[in-house]
């Protein structure tokens, strides 16, 4: 069955640096890959979607890359701020109307 | 513009009982998906409702059932509760049976004793 792996350890970054989170998957590539942010006790918030034929997507300080050869997506937050501290989830979709598979998330802490 | 709402926010039940959770989608959305999230894990897809029908289902037993109403709101029912059903239950809404952009509600925290 399809598996998703995200950085298992929490990530601690100094404010102002770039945070890079990893999402690796096994087996076949998804049609879409999403990134979400989740704060404690709250539902996930959609951040970005990247399609299998796209290499990179940007939104303000966020950048997502998608490498179907490596079976990996990287999520970057540039000029990180303490307010960026949260758990970040990646999720795979194999078509626009199919089941979503989520990773277990990476907890990111930005220290001032 | 109302976002996704869920009720109740918290619930405590005992083993063997039944529970019903409710979700109202974001305005303009007609598709509702339900997820179970255990502590420290990512959400696990339970099922999706679109046009009042269950369209997709994850690996959950038949104890988990749902319904979608003509106003697009939805219910998740869980029968014969087990201790392992304790989790955060999330509802997400989207459009047209698609899941490319989903908006999640705050969740219902269920504790089974």
DSSP result, A37-88:
EE-TTS--EEEEEEETT-SEEEETTEEEEEETTTTEEEEEESS--GGG-EEE
Q: Residue A96 pLDDT > 90, yes or no?
A: no
From chain B, pick out residues whose CB is under 8 angstroms from the CB of A41: 106-107
Mutation target vs B (from A34, A38, A42, A44; most B CBs, 10 A cutoff): A44
Distance to chain A for B91, nearest Cα, Å: 9
CB contact under 8 A, A104 and B40: yes
The answer to whether the CB of B68 falls within 8 A of the CB of B60 is no
Share of chain B above pLDDT 90, in %: 93
| pLDDT value at residue B98 | 87
CB contact under 8 A, A32 and B45: no
A18 DSSP assignment: P
| pLDDT value at residue A110 | 97
Residues B90, A50, B31: CA angle, nearest 5 degrees: 35
Digit-coded pLDDT (tens) for A9-45: 799 999 999 999 999 998 778 889 999 999 998 999 9
A52 vs B5, higher pLDDT: B5
* B55, B99, B107 member nearest A93 (Cβ): B99
- Encoded tokens for B37: 């999230």
Dihedral pair phi/psi, residue B54, rounded to 5°: -75, 120
Dihedral pair phi/psi, residue A84, rounded to 5°: -80, -5
């Amino acid at each position: 069955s399809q598996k998703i792996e995200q950085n298992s350890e929490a990530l601690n970054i100094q404010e102002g640096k770039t945070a890079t989170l990893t999402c690796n998957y096994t087996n076949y590539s998804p049609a879409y890959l999403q990134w979400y942010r989740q704060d404690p006790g709250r539902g996930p918030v959609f951040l970005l979607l990247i399609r299998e034929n796209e290499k990179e997507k940007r939104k303000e300080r966020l950048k997502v890359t998608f490498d179907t050869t490596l079976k990996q997506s990287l999520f970057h937050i540039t000029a990180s701020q303490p307010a960026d501290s949260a758990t970040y989830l990646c999720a795979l979709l194999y078509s626009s109307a199919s089941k979503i598979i989520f990773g277990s998330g990476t907890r990111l802490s930005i220290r001032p | 513009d109302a976002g996704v709402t869920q009720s109740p926010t918290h619930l405590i039940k005992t083993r063997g009982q039944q529970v019903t959770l409710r979700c109202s989608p974001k305005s303009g959305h007609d598709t509702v998906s339900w997820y179970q999230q255990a502590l420290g894990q990512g959400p696990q897809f339970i099922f999706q409702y679109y046009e009042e029908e269950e369209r997709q289902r994850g690996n959950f037993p038949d104890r988990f059932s749902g319904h979608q109403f003509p106003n697009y709101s939805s219910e998740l029912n869980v029968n014969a509760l087990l201790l392992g059903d304790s989790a955060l239950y999330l509802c997400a809404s989207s459009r047209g049976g698609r899941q490319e952009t989903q908006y999640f509600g705050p969740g219902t925290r269920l504790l089974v004793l």
